[in-house]
Structure 1
């Protein structure tokens, strides 16, 4: 869909990564969190500069984040834990000389207090809404997207949480809602992961290829 980016997250196997790269997603996510089966501890194979390498962190120390950015030449970082606005502000200051994007994740179920976003407005580039579940991402279930119609911010966001081919029509409806209300750029990107996996960290390229054609 026009003006909608795609992020493929939870990449792990180098050969699988190289195959997924051919689909030219806008973002590719690597999870640097040891408590997930998608934990990435390899070398990232060569990736075209048009694809933004995104490091996913959960309550990690700033020094570790900076080390991973340097090691893997990351283009974006996704903070998937309980990181405070002050933490994000410090990180943003340290990264001031680099064109690196900061994405802050918020977990959602049936409702959400959007007032929580206010203190993050000036210190992150995007918000990401994921499903609140047992795991820090990759739960394979969607949340109630209707609450996003109450989204008060002007900051673009990523939509995540159990998104697969079955959700395409609902994504179209949500995108159309924002377009009709003069806010077509708020729904910035779709973030997919577990619905396209053969096993944790290994994506079904054929299934992804069909999904990518929709974009």
Structure 2
């Protein structure tokens, strides 16, 4: 079954919606963006979020001790690195975590060479997002799925994913999971109807 990740939670209302429809992963953004949350806010939101939903911390070139602290406080269960983190940085982070920690490395795709850069990184999963010169992620734009290598391991597709194109992305890319944020929002806030329809579309398709 395709995993569903909804990123950019900011309020208790967002958590209430997630608890009702239960995506597999939910993301707290600790990097500068319109979805940014402080450590204290993330702590409160994690307490509101159903324990069956894995919380993901999204970081861009962050301090490794900060990341490890959020993990050990059980505010996040999964770490998503969305910056320029290299093999050495990730190995240093691993030493600060336990064996249960899951690390996702995000890649902003602009050409096939972007995949070779992360081929040997010591991570559990990858997330492929669209490249934008202005932002490290969350551009809401699609990348060319034909660029994906055939042997890919576990990966999420992000960037411009929506209810309308989710099935075509699954058919073309065969991902481990889909990642959405702005496409399930209205006026910058998570929209219950859009969340419900996205999750329903993906899960009903997989059931057949």
Q: Bin the TM-score by the shorter chain.
A: 0.7 to 0.9
Kindly indicate whether the alpha-carbon contact (under 8 Å) linking 2:26 and 2:54 is maintained by their aligned counterparts in 1. yes
Give the drift of 1:21.
Answer: 2.1
Q: Which residue pairs with 2:137 in the alignment?
A: 137
Separation (CA, whole Å) in 2 of partners of 1:110 and 1:4: 25
Report what 1:19 is aligned to: 17
Whether 1:10 aligns to 2:17 is no
Task: Write the deviation string for residues 50-81 of structure 1: whole angstroms up to 9, x where unpaired.
Answer: 21010000000101111222345311010000
CA pair 197-112 structure 1, distance change in 2 beyond 3 A: farther
The match for 2:206 is none
Q: CA deviation at 1:203?
A: 0.8
Which blocks of at least 5 consecutive residues in structure 1 are unaligned? 179-186
CA contact (8 A) 1:10 1:30 kept: yes
TM-score normalised by structure 1 residue count = 0.84
Partners of 2:50 and 2:72 in 1: how far apart? Answer: 17
Alignment partner, residue 196 of structure 1: 184
The 5 Å alignment of 1:68-87 reads 68-87=70-89
Q: Equivalent residue for 1:37?
A: 34
Superposed, which structure 2 residues align to 1:49-60 within 5 Å?
Answer: 49-60=51-62
1:116 to 1:14, Cα distance in 2 relative to 1, 3 A = same
Between 109-118 and 77-86, report the one with greater CA deviation: 109-118
Larger RCO, structures 1/2 (Cα 8 Å, 6+ apart): 1
- Shift in Å at residue 16 of structure 1? 2.0
Per-residue deviation, 1:166: 1.9
Residues 162 and 193, structure 1, Cα contact 8 Å, conserved in 2: no
Ranges in structure 2 where 5+ consecutive residues have no aligned partner: 204-208
Structure 1 residue 207 and structure 2 residue 194: aligned? yes
How many residue pairs match? The answer is 196
Using the TM superposition, give the Cα deviation of residue 98 of structure 1 relative to its aligned residue in structure 2, in angstroms.
4.3
Q: TM-score, normalised by structure 2?
A: 0.87
Matched residues in 1 for 2:198 and 2:128: separation? 20
Contact 2:12 2:48 in 1 (8 A): no
Could you say what the CA RMSD is over the residues aligned between the two structures, in angstroms?
A: 1.7
Looking at structure 1, the residues matched to 181 and 13 of structure 2 have their Cα atoms a distance apart, in angstroms, of 17
Structure 1 residues 108-147: aligned runs within 5 Å: 108-120=109-121, 123-133=122-132, 134-147=134-147
SS at match of 1:195: helix
1:172 deviates by: 3.4
Structure-2 residue corresponding to 1:184: none
SS at match of 1:117: coil
CA distance in 2, matches of 1:115, 1:109: 12
